[in-house]
A and B are shown apart, each in its own frame.
Chain A
C-alpha cells in the first residue's frame, strides 16, 4: 500500500454537518460529467433532473408525496441504526403495512365512515411491526443476524403481496388483472393540497420528525438508544435492557414503514397492486445516513432524495434517459457521503513505513 489513512484527531463539529452538503455537490459534479459522457448537454440534463421537476407547484407537491414514505421509513430506521440494530427490511415492512391497510380497506369497500382510515392506519402499523417482530424475535432469542433476516423477509413480503393480488384479493370484476378493487372514497386518505396528490400522510411524516427529535434528544428511550449504540457496557452499567431496545427499535421502524406502506396504497396508488413502492424502504437507508441519523437531517435528506425520483422520471420523459439514472444518483450520494466521512476523520498520507533519521 502506498497510501494510508492517518487520524486527524478530534473531528471538526461543523464538518459533520457539512459533509452531506459536500456529498451533494460532488454528486452534481459527477452527474455533470456523466451526462456529458452520455452525449447530453450536461446543463440541460442537470436542469431537467434537479430543477425542472420542482419548477411548479404541482412538482413541489409531487416531491412531498414521494418524500412522505421515505421520511417515515428513515426516521424509524435511524433509531435502530443508532442502537446498532440494523433493520434493512423496511421495504418488506412497508409492503406488509400496505397489505394490512389495503385488506382493511377492501373489507370495508362497500361502507362509508370516518373510522375506516384510522383503522387502516392501525392495521398498517401492526402489519409492519409484525414483520419486523420476526427479526426481533430471532435476534433476541437465537442471536440471528437481523440484517439477513429483515432483508430476506422483504422478498417474502413481495411474494406474499403478489400471491394476494393474483388470488384472494384480486378484483372480481377486474378481467383477471393482478390488482385489487379500487378503494372506496372512505378508504382514500384526505388530500391536503387541492388539485394535487399531497395527502394527510405528509403530516404524519412531519409528526414523526418532531416526535423522533423529541424522543432521541429528550426522552429516556432515546437516551437509552444512544447509550447502547455508543457504549454497550455503559448501557448495561446503567441497567438498560439490550433486548428491550432491540424489540423497541425494530417494532418502531417496522411500524413506521408499515404506516408508510398504508399511506401509499391509500393515497397515490388507491388499490393493491403487485408493486407498491419503487424501493422507498431501501432508499430510506441512504436517507437515514445522509441525514446523519438526525430527524431534521432526515427530513431534508428525504426531500433531496425524493427529488432524484422525480428527476429520474422527468429525465426519462424529456431526455430519454434510462431509469437507472435515479439509482446511480442515489448510489453516488451515499458513496460520496461515506467517502467524505472517512476523509474528515482521516487524512490520506503516503506510506513509506520507515524512520527518517
Chain B
C-alpha cells in the first residue's frame, strides 16, 4: 500500500445519510479507502454497516451523501453498475439457488461475457489459486455454509474487482482456512485491490487490516490503525461500554449423563451429503461439549439426527435422560427437555414472516403450556415472548414484529432465549454465534455457560474455535462424518484441533495420530 498523500482514493464517501422509517441507519458517514488498502468496518449489529455497504454496492439509495470512485463522482444505480465499476461483494447472507450447481450459480451472478465457455475451468483455477476448494458440479443444497461462502468469494474474484467488500467472511472458516484467506486477501491487496472488510473478530482485524472505521448507532465513532490498538480497546469503541469475557466455573462437578449417543450411523441419501459413521459420545449435566470441524463434515447431519428432524435407524443410538429416542421426532425430544438452536435462523429456527410471539409458540407450545385443547393461548404466548425479549435484551419494540425485521444477532438472541426460557436439561446448538456481533456473541456464550452451570448438558457444534475454547469443558472434532474422542479443553491447543479438523480421527495424545497430522495439513490447505 502506498502512503502517498497525493494518491487518489479508490473509494471516498462523504456525508452519507440514510433514513429508514423510524431509524436513522446512516448519519453523515464518511469513509476513505485507498488502492490496495484493507479497511475494516467495525460495528455491532444495527450500527449501520450493512446499510452503508448496500449503498456502496448500489442496493439502497442514500438520502444524502456523495460517492467518489477513483476521484470521480459516481452514482451507483444498482449492483450491476457497481460490478461494472469493479466493486465485488461477498454477502453475509448468500444469494444462491439451492437446486443449481456451483457453476450455474456463479454463471447467474456475473455478466454474460464472463459466464461463457471455460467458466468451470476458471472456477477451478481461481479456487485452487486462492485456496478455496470448490467442485463446480456440486449442487448448492448439498453444501455447508462454509462451502457456500466460497462460491460467493470465487464469484467475486472471477470479476477481477478493484474493491472487494467482505461481510463477516471468516465466521465459518477454520483458523487455517482463515489464515489461508488472509494470504489471499493480502495478495489481492498487493495487487492493488482494495478490500472493505466487515468483521467483529478483532484479532483478525488487527492482523489483517491497514485501517479501521468504527461505527455505532449509524455514526462513525472512531477511526484507527488496528495494529496500534488492542482488541479490547477496539471492542470498547465499537460497543461503547467495557466488554466482559465470559465467566466460567471450571470447578463445576459433573452430574449424570443427560445426552448419550452410541454407535449412531446415519447414511446420507444425498450424493454430496456426509454420512455419519459410528458416532458415540455423551454429555453430562454441567458440562459444555464442543464439537469442532470444518464446514461440510457432517455437522448439519449430526444436528438433524440429534434434533430428530432426521430419525436414526436404531432407537438405541440416541438416549436423552436415559430414554432411547432414536426413533422419536423433534416434538417428543423437546418434551424430554431438549432445547435446539439450529444454524439457519431465518426459515429454520424461526419463520421469517411470522411475529415473534408466533415464533415463540413454534418451539415453546408444549414445554411452556401455551395451548389448551389445541388452541393457542395468545396472552400467555405473548407474555412468554415478551419475557424472552426482556431477559435476553432483544432489540425490538415488541413481540408483534416479524422475525425477519430483527438483525441477525437480535434474532439469534431471541431464539436462544426462547429455548433457554423453557429450562432445557439438554441444549444442542449449531453455530450459535454465526454472523452475530461481538456483544451478542458474548451474551450468548455467557448464557450457554450459565445453562451448564445450572445443571444442563450443553452441546455446541461450531466452526469457530475461539468460541469453543472460550466456553467448552471438553472438545471433540468431527471430520468426514466421524467424531474423535472428546478431550478436556485444558489438554488441547487451537493448533492441535485445527490440524485434527483436516481428517485424522483421534486427538493428538494418541501416538497413532501424529503421522496423520501432515496429511491433515495438506487437506486443509
Q: Is the CB of B349 within 8 A of A237?
A: yes
A57 to B348, CA, bound (A): 53
Q: Which residue of A lies closest to B310 (CB)?
A: A236
- Asked if A218 is at the interface (CB within 8 A of a chain B CB), the reply is yes
Contacts A233-B344, A234-B349, A236-B309 aside, 10 further interface pairs with beta carbons under 8 A come to A233-B347, A233-B348, A237-B362, A239-B308, A239-B330, A355-B80, A356-B74, A356-B81, A357-B72, A357-B85
- The residue from B81, B330, B353, B375 contacting A238, defined by CB atoms under 8 A apart: B330
Residue of A nearest to B359 (CB): A234
Query: Could you tell me if A356 and B77 are in contact, using CB atoms closer than 8 angstroms?
Result: yes
Residue of B whose beta carbon sits closest to that of A228: B351
Q: Are A355 and B81 in contact (CB under 8 A)?
A: yes
Contacts of B376 in A (CB 8 A): 218-220, 223
Please tell me if the beta carbons of B81 and A354 are within 8 angstroms of each other in the complex.
yes
A168 proximal to B (CB < 8 A): no
A234 to B347, CA, bound (A): 6
B353 contacts A355, CB within 8 Å? Answer: no
Q: At the interface, yes or no: A227 with Cβ under 8 Å from chain B?
A: yes
State the majority secondary structure of interface residues on B. Answer: mixed
Q: How many residues does chain B have at the interface if contact means C-beta atoms less than 8 Å apart?
A: 40
Q: Mark B378-394, 1 if CB is under 8 A from A, else 0.
A: 10000000000000000
Interface size on A, residues (CB 8 A): 22
Are A237 and B307 in contact, CB atoms less than 8 angstroms apart?
Answer: yes
B69 nearest CB neighbor, chain A only: A357
Option from B74, B332, B358 in Cβ contact (under 8 Å) with A223: B358
Query: Which residues of the partner chain B approach A221 to less than 8 Å between Cβ atoms?
Result: 374
How distant is A273 from chain B, measured CB to nearest CB, in Å?
41
CB of B291 within 8 Å of the partner chain: no
Ordered nearest first, which 10 A-B pairs have the shortest CB separation? A355-B81, A239-B331, A239-B330, A233-B348, A231-B351, A355-B84, A231-B347, A234-B351, A220-B374, A357-B74
In the complex, whether A353 has a CB less than 8 A from a CB of chain B is yes
Inter-chain CA distance A218–B370, complex, in Å, is 11
Chain B residue with minimal CB distance to A238?
Answer: B362
B298 smallest CB distance to A (angstroms): 18
What are 28 pairs between A and B in contact, CB < 8 Å?
A219-B374, A220-B365, A220-B376, A223-B358, A227-B351, A230-B353, A230-B354, A231-B347, A231-B350, A233-B348, A234-B350, A237-B307, A237-B309, A237-B362, A237-B363, A238-B331, A238-B362, A239-B308, A239-B332, A241-B329, A353-B80, A354-B81, A355-B74, A356-B81, A357-B72, A357-B75, A357-B81, A357-B85
> Would you call A237 and B75 a contact (CB within 8 A)?
no
Chain A min CB distance to B267 (Å): 19
State whether the Cβ of B146 lies closer than 8 Å to any Cβ in chain A. Answer: no
Q: B74 and A237: CB pair below 8 A? A: no
Is A199's CB within 8 Å of the partner chain B?
no
B361 touches A223 (CB 8 A): yes
Interface status of B82 (Cβ within 8 A of chain A): yes
Query: If A219-B376, A355-B82 touch, does A231 touch B352 (CB 8 Å cutoff)?
Result: yes
Q: Which residues of A contact B352 (CB under 8 A)?
A: 230-231
